[in-house]
């Protein structure tokens, strides 16, 4: 796309403002930003790479002068929801990846102040290198995803929603002003990272899933490292038992037996997560990387009892609390499910014994299974992994890209649907059945996870995998997701997060709520330059 005169003038001004090397408008380079695993397309005028707050302020000032919209990203790994792509054509992407300073980590009050380019890996490495007694609320995505970026779209980790743990934001508004939320705007406030709300109206809630400004730093809550940790893996052998499992988990959470997010995945989710890891183990032991080996990995999971649904729960606390939790979980699900409890000592001991007896086929199989489950176990103790990417390629049948760190540049297709569902077993089962039926009509299997976030609500994570090289399948995939999201809305289960092609399902001109959001935009971003159309009418 040839740039317009205003865009050309803006690019020249940005080059003066932040340096030529930080402004890229080359068509070939832009293609690397506009490839997307969701198989959508957008036209962008440039990629801007500011390195500081001052750079961002200059970028916003020039955008206002020339009326060129900006689309800020942190690391651009919003896979299945749009990746780096803007909602609308004609924007300059603002890649904040160079702004990757860890400004402060406080072990006493368990928080970190970071810039938007700081990733899970970077912060976890910092914690480990400094031997800090802290844990991070990790997500199931890769290690190199942004902490702030995920929180800004209300991503859900293994312990809580990321949006609950972000505060003291520094934001460059679309109108050019820079503000701090909470107590952050008082220079001498010693509690700016300790008490989220500050005084007066709380503005923190304005910026997640909004297009009013660019967040350039924020406080991220961490967790104190517990005395003890345990993971419970619960498996049921029939679909009919799903309501029992959901209601048992709600009861356990209500009574404080565990306080983390319980992840409950269907067969498709478990298999695309664990089968590629088992396949890796088989190949490492000498099996050829072919279809027969992949089929063997699936058979191992079936034999291992990973049936219709499996749940993973992380339990943190004292040793006495862990012991009590194990007893309560057994009591709650023992009549209809099988439960495996894992901790560091058990895993280390089992691996040590198995490696000595690896010549016994059954022991060798158990060792492979244990190593395959380890990354999922790691999530429950605050560890990130890159292994989760394998599920994207495995689900799409894209076995040539298993080592690729970025599915945007592969043949795999992936789109997510993310409804919020009442935490009640029968309701969850009804939604699951309808989801499967809708996907089947379009020729797809639904990989489904229902995550118990609170005692009241579950996050549905529904993914659709397809081959982007197949135009018919790509078209069918998008039609399926659009119908599915419309059905969730009709049933009264709106999504808590949507991709770039689905804003119309949730943003409506006849809704006073969205009209008010539009009015706020007029004040905070009067020229409409920040992410037009993102969770807003403008």
State how far the Cα of 466 lies from the Cα of 395, in Å rounded to an integer: 8
> What residues does CATH 3.30.43.10 cover in the chain?
5-98
Q: Mean pLDDT over all residues of the chain?
A: 95
> What residues does CATH 3.30.465.10 cover in the chain?
102-224
Pairing of strands 228-236, 338-342: antiparallel
State how far the Cα of 261 lies from the Cα of 160, in Å rounded to an integer: 6
32-84: per-residue pLDDT in tens?
999 999 999 999 999 999 999 999 999 999 999 999 999 999 999 999 999 99
State how far the Cα of 251 lies from the Cα of 456, in Å rounded to an integer: 11
What is the arithmetic mean of pLDDT over 261-279?
A: 95
pLDDT of amino acid 357: 79
State how far the Cα of 443 lies from the Cα of 314, in Å rounded to an integer: 35
Q: In what order do the strands lie in the sheet with 23-24?
A: 23-24, 44-48, 91-95, 70-73
- pLDDT of 338 > 90? The answer is yes
- pLDDT of 359 > 80? The answer is no
State how far the Cα of 254 lies from the Cα of 246, in Å rounded to an integer: 12
Which among 420, 423, 398 is positioned nearest to 411, based on CA atoms?
A: 398
What is the arithmetic mean of pLDDT over 222-238?
A: 96
- pLDDT of 361 > 80? The answer is no
CB atoms within 10 A of CB 129: 8
CA–CA distances in Å: residue 452 to residues 152, 259, 335: 21, 10, 21
Length of the chain equals: 538
pLDDT band for position 2 (cuts 50, 70, 90): low
State how far the Cα of 247 lies from the Cα of 453, in Å rounded to an integer: 13
Ordered DSSP codes for 95-152? E-TT---EEEEETTTTEEEE-TT-BHHHHHHHHHHTT-SEE----SS-TTSBHHHHHH
State how far the Cα of 393 lies from the Cα of 465, in Å rounded to an integer: 9
C-beta of residue 311 within 8 angstroms of C-beta of residue 234:
yes
pLDDT of amino acid 192: 97
419-467: per-residue pLDDT in tens?
999 999 999 999 999 999 999 999 999 999 999 999 999 999 999 999 9
503-521: per-residue pLDDT in tens?
999 999 999 999 999 999 9
Dihedral class, residue 47 (left if φ above 0, else alpha if ψ from -120 to 50, else beta): beta
Cα of 38 vs its chain's centroid, Å? 15
Which among 300, 265, 270, 264 is positioned nearest to 282, based on CA atoms?
A: 300
Beta carbons within 8 Å of 323's beta carbon, 6+ residues apart: none
Rg (CA), the chain: 24
pLDDT band for position 348 (cuts 50, 70, 90): confident
* 355: three-class secondary structure by DSSP: helix
- pLDDT of 1 > 60? The answer is no
- For domain 414-497, is the CATH number 3.30.70? yes
Instruction: Work out whether the CA dihedral 98, 103, 106, 112 comes out positive or negative.
Output: negative
Which among 222, 208, 3, 193 is positioned nearest to 91, based on CA atoms?
A: 3
CATH tag, 102-224: 3.30.465.10
- Residue 226 DSSP label: P
Q: Where are the alpha helices (DSSP H) in 397-446?
A: 425-441
Q: For residue 337, what are its two tokens?
A: 């499910």
CATH tag, 5-98: 3.30.43.10
pLDDT of amino acid 363: 77
* 451: three-class secondary structure by DSSP: strand
Element (H, E) at 466: strand 457-467
pLDDT band for position 402 (cuts 50, 70, 90): confident
- pLDDT of 365 > 90? The answer is no
- For domain 228-387, is the CATH number 3.50.50.60? no
> What residues does CATH 3.30.70.3450 cover in the chain?
228-387
C-beta of residue 457 within 8 angstroms of C-beta of residue 423:
yes
pLDDT of amino acid 443: 97
Q: For residue 511, what are its two tokens?
A: 């809704």
CA–CA distances in Å: residue 48 to residues 44, 69, 119, 132, 241: 11, 12, 19, 35, 51
Which among 323, 326, 356 is positioned nearest to 339, based on CA atoms?
A: 326
């Amino acid at each position: 796309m040839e740039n317009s005169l205003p865009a050309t003038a803006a690019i020249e001004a940005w080059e003066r403002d932040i340096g030529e090397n930080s402004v890229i408008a080359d068509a070939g380079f832009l293609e690397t930003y506009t490839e997307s695993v969701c198989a959508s397309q957008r036209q962008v005028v440039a990629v801007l790479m500011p390195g500081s707050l001052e750079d961002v302020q200059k970028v916003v000032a020039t955008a206002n002068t020339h009326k060129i919209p900006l689309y800020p990203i942190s690391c651009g790994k919003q896979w299945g929801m749009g990746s780096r792509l803007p909602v609308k054509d004609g924007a300059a992407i603002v890649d904040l990846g160079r702004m990757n300073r860890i400004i402060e980590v406080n072990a006493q009050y368990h928080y970190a102040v970071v810039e938007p380019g700081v990733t899970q890996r970077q912060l976890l490495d910092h914690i480990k290198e400094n031997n800090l007694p802290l844990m991070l609320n990790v997500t199931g995505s890769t290690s190199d995803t942004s902490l702030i970026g995920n929180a800004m779209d209300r991503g859900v980790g293994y312990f809580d929603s990321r949006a609950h743990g972000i505060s003291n934001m520094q934001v460059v508004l679309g109108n050019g002003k820079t503000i701090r939320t909470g107590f952050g705007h008082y220079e001498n406030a010693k509690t700016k990272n300790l008490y989220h709300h500050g005084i007066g109206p709380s503005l923190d809630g304005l910026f997640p899933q909004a297009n009013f400004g660019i967040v350039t730093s924020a406080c991220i809550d961490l967790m104190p490292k517990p005395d003890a940790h345990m993971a419970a893996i619960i498996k049921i052998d029939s679909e009919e038992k799903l309501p029992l499992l959901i209601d048992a988990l709600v009861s356990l959470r209500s009574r404080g037996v565990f306080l983390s997010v319980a992840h409950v995945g269907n067969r498709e989710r478990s298999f695309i997560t664990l089968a590629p890891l088992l396949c890796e183990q088989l190949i490492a032991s000498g099996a050829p990387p072919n279809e027969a080996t992949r089929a063997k990995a699936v058979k191992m999971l079936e034999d291992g009892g990973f049936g219709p649904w499996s749940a993973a729960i992380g339990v943190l606390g004292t040793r006495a609390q862990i012991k009590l939790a194990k007893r309560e979980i057994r009591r709650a699900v023992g009549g209809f499910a099988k439960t495996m409890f894992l901790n560091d000592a058990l895993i280390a001991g089992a691996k040590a014994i198995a490696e000595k007896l690896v010549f016994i086929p059954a022991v060798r199989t158990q060792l492979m299974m244990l190593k395959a489950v380890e990354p999922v176990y790691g999530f429950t103790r605050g560890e990130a992994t890159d292994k989760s990417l394998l599920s994207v390629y495995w689900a799409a049948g894209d076995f040539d890209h298993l080592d690729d760190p970025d599915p945007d540049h592969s043949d795999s297709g992936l789109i997510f649907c993310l409804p919020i569902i009442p935490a009640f077993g029968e309701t969850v089962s009804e939604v699951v059945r309808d989801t499967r039926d809708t996907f089947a009509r379009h020729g797809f299997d639904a990989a489904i996870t229902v995550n118990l976030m609170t005692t009241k609500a579950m996050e549905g994570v529904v993914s659709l995998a397809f081959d982007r090289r197949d135009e018919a399948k790509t078209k069918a995939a998008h039609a399926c997701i659009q119908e599915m999201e419309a059905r969730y809305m009709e049933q009264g289960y709106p999504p808590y997060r949507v991709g770039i092609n689905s804003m119309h399902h949730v943003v409506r001109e006849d809704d006073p709520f969205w009209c008010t959001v539009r009015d706020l935009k007029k004040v905070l971003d009067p020229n409409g330059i920040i992410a037009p159309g993102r969770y807003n009418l403008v």
